[in-house]
Copies of this chain bind each other. A is one copy, B any other.
Amino acid sequence: MAHEDRRLQVLRAIVQDYVSTNDPVGSKALAARHDLGVSPATIRNDMAVLEEEGYITQPHTSAGRVPTDKGYRFFVDRLSQVKPLSVAERRAIERFLDGALDLDDVLSRTVRLLAQLTRNVAVIQYPTLSRSAVRHLEVVQLAANRLLVVLITDTGRVEQRVVEIPPVTDAPAGVDPVAELRTLLNAAFVGAKLAEAGVKVADLLDTAPAHLRGLVAAVSATLVETLAEPGEDRLLVGGTANLTRGGALDFPGTLRPLLEALEEQVVVLRLMGEVDPGHVLVRIGEENAHEGFTGASLVSVGYGSAGSADLALGGLGVVGPTRMDYPGTMAAVRAVARYVGQLLAES
């Protein structure tokens, strides 16, 4: 139907105008700014229907209309078109990320870049341990009963854990049990996906020399535990200052709960949930069933495993007000993720 089609045009126009002006948009202004070919009166009728269907709402009688979460959702799913990045933006991405050497560097640059590009809060998850492989394990003795185990993954992530160990009593004279342990662990784990660590541990416990069993058990337990905890996924956050853009206009409650959620990394990680590379996920307002996030949207995507259909190494994303430039943010997030994937694949 022709007029149903136009109604969607109207919805799109409302979203676009509201995002750019932050004022509720009325029928007259809409007719003036967009070439809809009909009079304000007609638009009013369409608006009435859209409101009926729950896509838009009025803050108060006799004000313009504002999109609802449902309206944004429809816009994102059906009405927005990919907005290609400008040349300047592409160049900014390259300039910003080139020259980064280690993982920390790449991630912290990325988060700053993304915050700056989108003028919102950016988050990036460290590469998930469970999908990384072991590049090296280092063991350093801190005290008689404590070891420091350093895990280096193929994604460049370096994790440290202190392990309490039982005293080694029956070691053969003349050998350093820690050195033995190191050799043993590396022989067993290097190259292995961390997801397979559980199996390896069982093997190792069988084959290890008797005097090392205690050590191996303690260290293995810590390793497995490290991987099991979902809390071990770490998150980097940047650009929180952007939350104050537009005064208190954007986030209706205070932004306190949002700041709390951002510090409580696990909340954001759960919201990002499973991320695919290449598939940008948008969660709008109330869809984020978490206090403080109900006035915010999260645009996220997986990075890593460039081009392939593999699982992502981790996720990155942008947090902003529901009233946000979705096409632009989605494009930025996707582009940055792709670039980060390339960078990590190189190293």
Chain A positions near chain B (C-beta within 8 angstroms): 101-104, 135-136, 138, 140, 142-143, 146, 148, 150, 152, 156, 158, 160-162, 238-241, 243-245, 247-248, 254-257, 259-260, 263, 347
Contact = CB atoms under 8 A, between A and B. Distances in A.
Contacts of A248: 248
Contacts of A259: 240-241, 243-244
A241 B158 CA distance: 29
> 7 closest Cβ contacts across the A-B interface?
A241-B259, A101-B162, A244-B256, A241-B260, A102-B162, A136-B140, A138-B138
A241 B260 CA distance: 6
B150 A152 contact: yes
Contacts of A135: 140, 142, 148
- Please state the number of chain copies in the assembly: 2
A101 B158 contact: no
A138 B161 contact: no
Nearest to A248: B248
Nearest to A254: B244
Contacts of A102: 148, 160-162
Nearest to A346: B143
A310 B178 CA distance: 32
B240 A263 contact: yes
A244 B258 CA distance: 11
B244 A263 contact: no
B256 A146 contact: no
Contacts of A241: 256-257, 259-260, 263
A119 to B, nearest CB: 12
